[in-house]
Structure 1
Amino acid sequence: MSSNKAQFISTATGEKYPVNEPRWLSNDGNLLDLQFEAEFDLEKIKNRKPNLWRYREAIPIVNNEHIISFDEGFTPLLPIDFNGKQALIKQEQNFSTGSYKDRGATVLLSLVKELGIREVIQDSSGNAGCAIAAYAAKAGINCAIYLPADTAEPKIAQMRMYGAKIMRVPGNREVTANAAFKAASHTFYASHCYNPYFYQGTKTFAYEVCEQLGWKAPDAVVVPAGNGTLLIGCFIGFNDLLKAGIISKMPKIIAIQAGNCSPLYQAYIKGENIVEPVASGPTLAEGIAIAAPVRGNQMLKMVEATKGKFFAVNEQEIKESLLYCGKKGYYIEPTSAATIAGLQKYLKESDDETVVSLFSGHGLKSTDKILKILG
């Protein structure tokens, strides 16, 4: 049981709302964050099963009976050499649905169960949809996923296997989000962008990294930046540990975008604090191709607060990173390879630092794209 009192808080006005009523926006239509005091009992944590629910007192689900879990988490952190420079890589492609999005789904669907909701919708370019569909299936909750019409077929097959209803939307990621937004007026929106409970799952990435480093923070963490589910989760997670006095510094957050769709990177290099939507070109990294991220301004602030930076990578760099990882025995999707391409750029200017990054999704999700790359 968690006794912690969580509250939704409007990012615009600071107005607070109870979490025991279904909502994903403030009354005036603004984004919500979660106000919640995470607690850590290191002795208890050490003696629990190696999954992300070992941090039970830091996760705002009230009743253990409502937890929907596949024993996910505690993925290996492996040292990997990149052209003579070493980084520690979290093996997030090992999750039950093949991506780190399971972290957010386990917590968000546990909330859905706690609230007694029977039906959810979600919009996704793939991985978040797969994760929400799988956890909804486990919870016995009906689920509809709104997808851009050109979503990778292996991901659609995966969602259909979980019993999700697939709503293909002609148009890009933004058009899809708008369609889901409309449908959400009468069905619970289990959104990985809007619902702050999703970040209460992804923040466990930061907890695990620090525990695997002997409860120390790395110097830098290199993460993908599309909708920012991991970036925001990392900021919350490291911050929780800092406030609890468990770590003594905040790592730099290094955020990676695909050059063909890089609204955050564009704002960063222009020194702006407002993210403007961009025209997006085709990219192998469809998982981070978000032209108008709803939490873009928040992400900019978080990266700046940690003295981090943004990098953009081109299609050739993504392809080369994908093939490089394959030759080392790691089968990852092209979106994962974009993060690794950015990591390699960062490592060139990093000296003697502990740098952590991740493989965010499994290669089996992008078989069609990978076959084309291999020719």
Structure 2
Amino acid sequence: MISIPHLRKASRLFHSNSFKKEPISHLKYASLLPLPPQKKKWVSMQEGGTRLVPSLAKENVLYKLEFENPTGSFKDRGSQVEISHAKANGVKDVVCASTGNMGASISAYGARAGINVTIVVPKGTPQNKLKQIKSYGADLVQVPGDYSAALKRTWEMVVHHPEVMLTGDYPLRAHGQKTIAYEITEQLGWKAPDNIIVPIGNGTLVYALYMAFQEMKEMQLISKMPHLIGVQAENCNPLQLAWKQNTTHFVPQKNPITIAGAIACGNPVYVQQALECIRETKGQIFSVTEKQMRAAKLSLAEKEGLYSEYSGAAVQAIAENKRFSGKTIALLCGHGLKE
């Protein structure tokens, strides 16, 4: 969380005429991000400013189209902060573990910054995502096993090469992803939605949204917190099972197999934070089957004209089949062409 004095200063900026006139974008909220002080070191591709589109089928649902970001996923928000720090600190090499989207994003921002990038992915990562990563000139390492195996490999690499910066689902990225919540709230006329449906892999996004809404509440920009509604694939659902058992303890799931590769994290990095955030906002966690995700991906395209990867299909499965009271945001985090 940002310090209280800093939030008060940012709050004054939010009420200024110049801020109100500025178009919505990720960097519009730069004062609330842990960016390097030297703006010339910031690495940006004008990420953010993604549209909020009303559903045609469900009156109270709006889709946040995060696949409109430069590399086709919400990961660009966190990469902007991480790679800006790498450039500001003179880092020449970075490494990242990924199921695909984050690897593509770090590779693109690294290319723009002139930084060498190594991406470690589990074998079986979708070919379209591998092609995208390699197209940016990144070194690609595929490891047997799941995301946890890829993560372990990056830690080993950094231990042997301490000059290499570790990027991924860590604090800088979490702060970068907060801007999704700020954009949604401003797009709704500075009113928090009642619910946000979020796909859960490592849990970083849930934690980021919670931090942002807490900051807005502290700044008195909003009066209430939205309910955070998490969704996992039934074939990879450690948080959903912990939620169901009303415990903070969870059993890691090794080598999960699901079509929703973007959220195939059997041992989530932010598991405790995600569970706490959802409980504090009186939210819920659901899991969906492979069959439900396949049907929802088609439904989203046929009924709404939106083409999302399977993490978004998981969100759609809940958005179209569950009833929530009040304005509900469904996050579509990656483009369907990626899988």
TM-score range, shorter chain: over 0.9
**Partner SS state of residue 56, structure 1:** helix
**CA–CA distance in 1 between the matches of 2:64 and 2:313?**
13
User: Which amino acid is 2:310 matched to?
Assistant: P
**CA–CA distance in 1 between the matches of 2:152 and 2:267?**
12
- Greater helix fraction, Structure 1 or Structure 2: 2
**CA–CA distance in 2 between the matches of 1:344 and 1:267?**
24
**CA contact 1:34–1:197 (8 Å) conserved in 2:** no
**CA–CA distance in 2 between the matches of 1:233 and 1:281?**
25
Match of 1:51 among 3, 6, 25: 25
Q: Does 1:284 align with 2:225?
A: no
What number of residue pairs does the alignment pair up?
A: 329
How far has the Cα of 1:85 moved from its partner?
4.3
**CA contact 1:45–1:55 (8 Å) conserved in 2:** no
Q: Does 1:93 align with 2:64?
A: no
Alignment-derived partner of residue 330 in structure 1: 306
* Bigger relative CO (Cα 8 Å, ≥ 6 apart): 2
How far has the Cα of 1:281 moved from its partner?
4.1
Alignment-derived partner of residue 175 in structure 1: 149
**CA contact 1:227–1:295 (8 Å) conserved in 2:** yes
User: Which amino acid is 1:357 matched to?
Assistant: A
User: Which amino acid is 2:143 matched to?
Assistant: V
**CA–CA distance in 2 between the matches of 1:102 and 1:267?**
30
Alignment-derived partner of residue 266 in structure 1: 241
Aligned pairs for 1:59-78 (under 5 A) are 59-61=33-35, 62-78=37-53
**Partner SS state of residue 171, structure 2:** coil
Q: Which runs of 4+ in 1 moved over 4 A?
A: 33-36
How far has the Cα of 1:35 moved from its partner?
6.1
Alignment-derived partner of residue 197 in structure 2: 222
Alignment-derived partner of residue 112 in structure 2: 138
User: Which amino acid is 2:145 matched to?
Assistant: G
1:86-114 CA deviation, whole Å, 9 max, x = no partner? 30111111111000111111111111112
In the alignment, structure 1 segments of 5+ residues that lack a partner are: 1-32, 367-375
**CA contact 1:260–1:280 (8 Å) conserved in 2:** no
How far has the Cα of 1:127 moved from its partner?
0.3
Alignment-derived partner of residue 125 in structure 2: 151
| Percent of aligned positions that are identical | 34
How far has the Cα of 1:191 moved from its partner?
2.9
Give the TM-score taking structure 2 as reference length: 0.93
**Partner SS state of residue 197, structure 1:** helix
1:135-166 CA deviation, whole Å, 9 max, x = no partner? 11111111000011111111111111111100
Structure 1 vs Structure 2 CA RMSD: 1.6
How far has the Cα of 1:181 moved from its partner?
1.3
User: Which amino acid is 1:223 matched to?
Assistant: V
Q: Does 1:362 align with 2:335?
A: yes
How far has the Cα of 1:65 moved from its partner?
1.1
**CA contact 1:275–1:297 (8 Å) conserved in 2:** no
Q: Does 1:184 align with 2:158?
A: yes
Q: Does 1:206 align with 2:181?
A: yes
**CA contact 1:146–1:176 (8 Å) conserved in 2:** yes
- Taking a change above 3 Å as real, the CA distance of residues 35 and 226 of structure 1, as seen in their structure-2 partners, is farther
User: Which amino acid is 1:339 matched to?
Assistant: V
User: Which amino acid is 1:330 matched to?
Assistant: L
Alignment-derived partner of residue 106 in structure 1: 80
In the alignment, structure 2 segments of 5+ residues that lack a partner are: none
**Partner SS state of residue 81, structure 1:** coil
**CA–CA distance in 1 between the matches of 2:93 and 2:256?**
34
**CA contact 2:300–2:307 (8 Å) conserved in 1:** yes
**Partner SS state of residue 49, structure 2:** coil
User: Which amino acid is 1:319 matched to?
Assistant: R
**CA–CA distance in 2 between the matches of 1:243 and 1:341?**
33
**Partner SS state of residue 172, structure 2:** coil
Moved more, 84-93 or 302-311: 84-93
**CA–CA distance in 2 between the matches of 1:115 and 1:243?**
32
**Partner SS state of residue 291, structure 1:** coil
1:264-290 CA deviation, whole Å, 9 max, x = no partner? 000000011122212454211111111
User: Which amino acid is 1:364 matched to?
Assistant: L
User: Which amino acid is 1:204 matched to?
Assistant: T
Alignment-derived partner of residue 79 in structure 1: 54
1:184-217 CA deviation, whole Å, 9 max, x = no partner? 2224344332x20101110000000000011110
**CA contact 1:192–1:229 (8 Å) conserved in 2:** no
**CA–CA distance in 1 between the matches of 2:334 and 2:76?**
11
**CA–CA distance in 2 between the matches of 1:98 and 1:178?**
26
Match of 2:320 among 338, 344, 359: 344
**CA–CA distance in 1 between the matches of 2:97 and 2:314?**
22
**CA–CA distance in 1 between the matches of 2:236 and 2:128?**
23
**CA–CA distance in 2 between the matches of 1:222 and 1:363?**
18
**CA contact 1:77–1:89 (8 Å) conserved in 2:** yes
